[in-house]
Amino acid sequence: MKIIIEDIGPEEEEQIIIRCKSVDESMMQLINSIKAKQEKMTVRQGERIVQINPQGIYYFEAVDNKVFIYLEQGIYETKLKLYEVEKQYAGTDFFRVSKSVILNLSKVKSFSPSFNGRFEALMKNGERIMISRQYVPLLKTKLGI
């Protein structure tokens, strides 16, 4: 694969052109990853409304019909439902690990087996997230193990 980067003038619009023989799964993952990194997410923190970069998200968690977003520093709330988050970030590093949690795999330090066929994810910020046994086979496939 050849990568070409060109400098453009301030009046020109930035663009990415992908030339390939066919659009396979790895190409779609790259495209979805680029799209997700460019979009900001509007969220709430108490009465404040802020925009965050999805790259900084560690995980989404549904609690009492609300969806919370956990970053290294801070917890935010989104109006999106968990299935909407899953759909919006399909093909990226976000992966559903239980009925109530979607994890950012790029923020995981390590995985380890737990009891009853479950796994545990140790996040880069030290938090531990349980991965339901029904999602373990999908996780292994995604990780290539």
- CATH of residue 115: 2.40.50.1020
Domain count, the chain: 1
CA 29 to chain centre: 12
Q: How would residue 79 be classed by pLDDT, with cut points 50, 70 and 90?
A: very high
Q: Which residue has the tokens 């023989």?
A: 21
When pLDDT is averaged across residues 48-70 and rounded to a whole number, the result is 93
64 or 90, which is more confident?
64
* Percent of the residues in the chain that have a pLDDT greater than 90, as a whole number: 46
pLDDT at 70 over 70: yes
- Write the CB contacts of 24 (distance below 8 Å, at least 6 apart in sequence): none
In a domain, 6, yes or no: no
Cα→Cα distances 4→1, 19, 31, 78, Å:
10, 11, 16, 37
pLDDT at 35: 66
In a domain, 73, yes or no: yes
Q: What angle do CA 90, 127, 102 make, to 5 degrees?
A: 15
Q: Which residues of 15-47 are buried (b: 16+ CB within 10 A; e: fewer)?
A: eeeeeeeeeeeeeeebebbeebeeeebebeeee
In a domain, 8, yes or no: no
Maximum mean pLDDT: which of 55-59, 90-94, 138-142? 55-59
pLDDT at 37: 61
Residue 44 is part of which domain span? 40-143
Q: What angle do CA 96, 110, 137 make, to 5 degrees?
A: 45
Cα torsion angle, 43, 44, 50, 56, sign? negative
